[in-house]
Chains A and B, each alone.
Chain A
Amino acid sequence: MTEPLVRPRRKNPLKRTRLPLRPQGVRSRTAHGLTAAAAEGRFALQICLDCDTVIYPPRDACPSCLSARIPFREVARGGTLIAETAVRTTTDPYFRERTPWRVGTVKLDVGPVVVAHLHGDAVEGGRVRLELKLDKSGSAVAIALPEKDTENMADDPHLREMTCDPKFRRVLITDGRTGVGQAMAKAFSDAGAAIVFVGLADPWKPFAGMAGLRKIERVEIVPLDVTDTESVTELAEQNGARIDIVVNTAEHIRAGGVVDRHGLTIAREEIDVRYLGLLRLAQAFGPILRFRGADGVNSAAAFVNLLSVHALMNWPAYGGYCATEAACLSAAQCMRAELRPGGVKVVTVFFGPLDIDWFQTVPPPKVTPAALADAVVRALQRGLEDVFVGDVAEDIRQRLAVNPKALEREMAN
């Protein structure tokens, strides 16, 4: 079992903040097949379509038959930890601060031998499951976990370097007025977040969920309007140094396409709430998150973007909304590069139609706010970067991978 994490003491405000470092993160283009799998939490290695060899590390040709037909496919992750060692001295600045660091070789049941980071409960000679994770540099690495879950296993310090577990971290939910915002506050509270800041704009406008929101443990309502630069800046100035995870729940969903909408008022609003709102949050909270990427047990860890899966392919019935979501996705990709030096993950969570009023006329399957919130918490616990929630999102992901043009035409019907 893992030594349970202790809630960190209050930080001595006179202490220097440790600056974030990153492990070496250069990978070949082919090896980014592992990055893509790790980002989505899949365990995928190359498989030779001609001779069935499972290939690791990634290569451009099959080492057995020289075939170039070697796509990444999900494979079984079981194996045996055949040998382990611990790095005690190193010139690498990142690992120097973290020695001793256990590594080992895992013989996978599907064939290859993989050098992997080791969870504290992975035992030499024992069965393990291998996972691909994104390390602080955003690159895929393998970590061997014990075959069966062990007590407090998420608290393992090596594993926690690769995840964004909300436990003992302080979270900002940017808009508590929506069903998603309220479900998110509940999910993060349940996941052991130390403080759940919940933003609220126009407090003079009553809403049904207010009483329920106040009842959630460790929720602190704070004034925040993502359309108001001053409001966003003020919150970051006051509380930015004690916010480790930002989840942007600000939402603006209206039906209507680009041609068949009357005027630009709605478009301006959705861009202001969603795209400019994201930029305001990024500018106010990004620099402090990046600076605090190695600030102890409750270091800054993640910025979560909730995006319609139709950011990836326009759905004309909600076409104007989708276009704004696409802008947000592009901004999120930029943020990812900008926050990487701090080891802060930018998570994109793609969802299909939500089970809320603004999708009232859309038939099921729909994603409930609670399901979306659970998916976000699980993604952070696992250290994912790209998450697809619900059947529609998964369906769009798969169809997009096969034939984007066909999907474009099909969405128009």
Chain B
Amino acid sequence: MTVDLMAFARAVANGDIRVIDLTQTLSQEFPTIVLPPELGQCAPFRMEEVSRYDERGPAWYWNNISLGEHTGTHFDAPIHWISGKDLPNNAVDTIDVAQFIAPAAVIDCSKECAADPDFALTIPFVEQWEARHGKIEPRSWVLLHTDWSKQPYTDYAGLRDDGAHTPGPEPAVVKWFVEQRDVHGFGTETIGTDFGQGQHFNPPYPAHFYMHGKGRFGLQCLTNLDLLPPKGAVIIAAPLKIKQGSGSPLRVLALVAGGNA
């Protein structure tokens, strides 16, 4: 079969294929995951000016940046979780690069989440979605459209006395995604792929446990999921090639067919 990549490039250039940015801006203010203070912490994004057309560098502007592998919009590799630690090619530098391009099934639960920050995704909810849009294709990203990226930071992090309150999947549905639907990975708009109170599930943090245990991937802190169709978008999500990296901040793009609507 011949593939016309030039036609693809023309379609991107003329807008027949729209390119949608699913990435949050890396900024100092953007919330990073919060763990108990005595545990190791993910570094927030920081930037130090090296020079700005001044005595430190007369004609150029540049910065040194520091951040964690899981800061801002980022990719989780299987090695991130203990369940995926022994899989082959489980780190960002060794994953087959073809895996960085895959279609997406976008499940809209934004209304439910607006009503309840503790909304938990279940198998029946996804089955209803499939009844409307068809079965999730194998090796598709499942992206949870919660509109959480539109929340002010206080609600975005959802921190209360008993921890975070943000939507996410129940254990059963994650297991079902990898075993019954052979999904490529799971992506969310929230700080993590897991339910805010996911430490109380069995297993704790099921999105991490099941996805990475089967060598599947995670994306979090996504935005603009409301601009994607339920099916048919193609996601380009290529993490930095960090030696034995557990994840990486990255630019996530979605390709969507159809002119500027």
Contact = CB atoms under 8 A, between A and B. Distances in A.
A50 interface: no
A269 B32 CA distance: 15
A204 to B, nearest CB: 4
B154 A203 contact: yes
Instruction: Give the interface size bracket for A toward B.
Output: 10 to 19
Contacts of B46: 227-229
A206 B46 CA distance: 22
B181 to A, nearest CB: 34
Nearest to B32: A202
A2 B31 CA distance: 52
A225 interface: yes
A274 to B, nearest CB: 15
Interface string B144-168: 0000000011101101100000000
A205 B28 contact: no
Interface in B36-77: 38, 40-41, 44, 46-49
A204 B165 CA distance: 13
B34 interface: yes
B40 A202 contact: no
A284 to B, nearest CB: 13
A55 B147 CA distance: 78
Contacts of A265: 40-41
Nearest to A208: B161
A360 to B, nearest CB: 11
Contacts of A203: 153-154
The 5 tightest CB contacts between A and B, nearest first, are A204-B153, A204-B154, A228-B28, A204-B157, A265-B40
Contacts of A230: 28, 47
Interface of B: 28, 31, 34, 38, 40-41, 44, 46-49, 152-154, 156-157, 159-160
Contacts of A381: none
Interface string A256-273: 000000010110010000
Contacts of B38: 254
A202 B38 CA distance: 18
A230 B63 CA distance: 12
Given A205-B34, A206-B160, A228-B28, 8 more contacts: A203-B154, A204-B157, A227-B44, A228-B46, A229-B48, A230-B47, A231-B28, A263-B40
B150 to A, nearest CB: 15
Contacts of A228: 28, 44, 46
B159 A206 contact: yes
9 contacts: A202-B31, A204-B153, A204-B154, A206-B159, A225-B28, A227-B44, A229-B47, A266-B40, A269-B41
Nearest to B152: A204
B156 A204 contact: yes
Contacts of B44: 227-228
B157 A205 contact: yes
Nearest to B27: A230
B41 A205 contact: no
A204 B44 CA distance: 14
Nearest to B28: A228
A265 B152 CA distance: 29
Contacts of B49: 229
A290 B47 CA distance: 27
B207 to A, nearest CB: 22
Interface in A181-226: 202-206, 225
